[in-house]
């Protein structure tokens, strides 16, 4: 088969479409013939040499895919050869075939075509596990969620899921066009981070209370300001480090608000934890997609062999929603 390999870390040109050995479905796994994969920031970091796959997982990039099951490993039940699926991966989505733990499979939701389904597993599982479950306070109807990077794949999904449960959503994004797209998806408070102070804007929009939950992809650069923007008993969920890894934190400000901070990475979680998240997503989110209240947002689709161009677009931040790769 063919897959995108990374012989040496580097720029987008480091991605090479090459012939590689076929994967084999081990016990508890299925073999999926990939129809489409999706590009995530983690793939860019892996290409640059900063984010190695977890031990035992595929060395090829790609944290989600869609396709058809072509073989079942021992001990797999509930799935059949020929089933159309999408999958959460620890790696290997940029390939013609990938072995997937059965617990990380999802059926293609009603109303979504097989290619577009590749845009769902990573973002939905990330948003669900960080905003709607997990330690401390989870988002409830009537509360306010602040999403940094509202026009990203993560952001466009977080907006829709929060609105679906009756929450209010504030977003940061760069420029009026991206903010307009966020508004189309249901965002209530639109903040241009290039020109506006998100702390002041969130406080003004909540009569000084602040955001109940903040979903942050920036990291160190926003840490202190995120704490300032939190409401009492609020929760900050850090899922990205685009703004650095080290920052000072005023614990007094955190204590005075009885607030909490969680920092999680989905990729390296044990299989049983991923399976639990996937099961919860299938139960709670798949019906919302099936009835049209939540939908994947796709910016553009590229051939798998043209993954370098998709990475250039990702790094330029010119997109809204997801970038897909098709065979």
**Structure confidence by residue, pLDDT tens digits, 123-164:** 999 999 999 986 556 899 999 999 999 999 999 999 999 999
Report, as ranges of residue numbers, the positions in the chain whose pLDDT lies below 50: none
Q: What is the mean pLDDT of the chain?
A: 96
Mind listing the pLDDT tens digit for each residue in 74-90?
Answer: 999 999 999 999 999 99
CATH number among 3.10.50.40, 3.90.180.10, 3.30.565.10, 3.90.1150.10, domain 2-120+267-326: 3.90.180.10
What pLDDT is attached to residue 42? Answer: 95
What are the residue boundaries of the structural domains of the chain, listed by start?
2-120+267-326, 125-263
0.85 exceeded by pTM? yes
SS3 of the chain: CEEEECCCCCCHHHCEEEECCCCCCCCCEEEEEEEEEEECHHHHHHHHCCCCCCCCCCCCCCCEEEEEEEEECCCCCCCCCCCEEEEECCCCCCECEEEEEHHHEEECCCCCCCCHHHHCHHHHHHHHHHHHCCCCCCCCCCCEEEEECCCEHHHHHHHHHHHHCCCEEEEEECCHHHHHHHHHHCCCEEEECCCCCHHHHHHHHCCCCCEEEEEECCCHHHHHHHHHHEEEEEEEEECCCCCCCCCCCCHHHHHHCCCEEEECCCCCCCHHHHHHHHHHHHHHCHHHHHCCCCCCCEEEEEEHHHHHHHHHHHHHCCCCEEEEEEC
- Does the domain at 125-263 match CATH 3.40.50.720? Answer given as yes
What pLDDT is attached to residue 135? Answer: 57
């Amino acid at each position: 088969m063919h897959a995108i390999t990374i012989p040496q870390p580097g720029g987008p040109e480091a991605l090479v479409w090459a012939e590689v050995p076929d994967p084999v479905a081990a016990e508890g796994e299925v073999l999926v013939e990939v129809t489409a994969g999706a590009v995530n920031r983690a793939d860019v970091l892996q290409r640059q040499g900063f984010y190695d796959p977890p031990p035992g997982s595929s060395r090829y990039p790609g944290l989600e895919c869609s396709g058809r099951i072509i073989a079942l490993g021992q001990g797999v039940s509930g799935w059949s050869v020929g089933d159309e699926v999408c999958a959460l991966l620890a790696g290997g989505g940029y390939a013609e075939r990938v072995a997937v733990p059965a617990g990380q499979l999802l059926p293609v939701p009603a109303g979504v075509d097989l290619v577009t389904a590749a845009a769902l597993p990573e973002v939905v599982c990330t948003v669900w596990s960080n905003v709607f479950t997990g330690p401390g306070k989870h988002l409830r109807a009537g509360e306010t969620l602040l999403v940094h990077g509202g026009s990203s794949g993560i952001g466009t999904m977080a907006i829709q899921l929060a609105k679906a449960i009756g929450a209010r959503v504030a977003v940061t994004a760069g420029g009026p066009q991206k903010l307009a797209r966020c508004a189309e998806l249901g965002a209530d408070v639109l903040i241009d981070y290039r020109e506006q102070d998100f702390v002041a804007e969130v406080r003004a929009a909540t009569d000084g209370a602040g955001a109940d939950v903040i979903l942050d992809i920036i990291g160190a650069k926003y840490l202190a300001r995120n704490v300032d923007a939190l409401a009492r008993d609020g929760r900050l969920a850090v899922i990205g480090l685009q703004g650095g890894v080290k920052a000072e934190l005023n614990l007094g400000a955190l204590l005075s608000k009885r607030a909490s901070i969680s920092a999680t990475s989905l990729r390296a979680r044990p299989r049983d934890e991923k399976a639990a998240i996937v099961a919860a997503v299938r139960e709670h989110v798949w019906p919302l997609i099936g009835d049209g209240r939540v939908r994947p947002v796709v910016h553009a689709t590229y051939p798998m062999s043209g993954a370098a161009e998709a990475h250039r677009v990702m790094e330029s931040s010119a997109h809204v929603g997801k970038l897909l790769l098709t065979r």
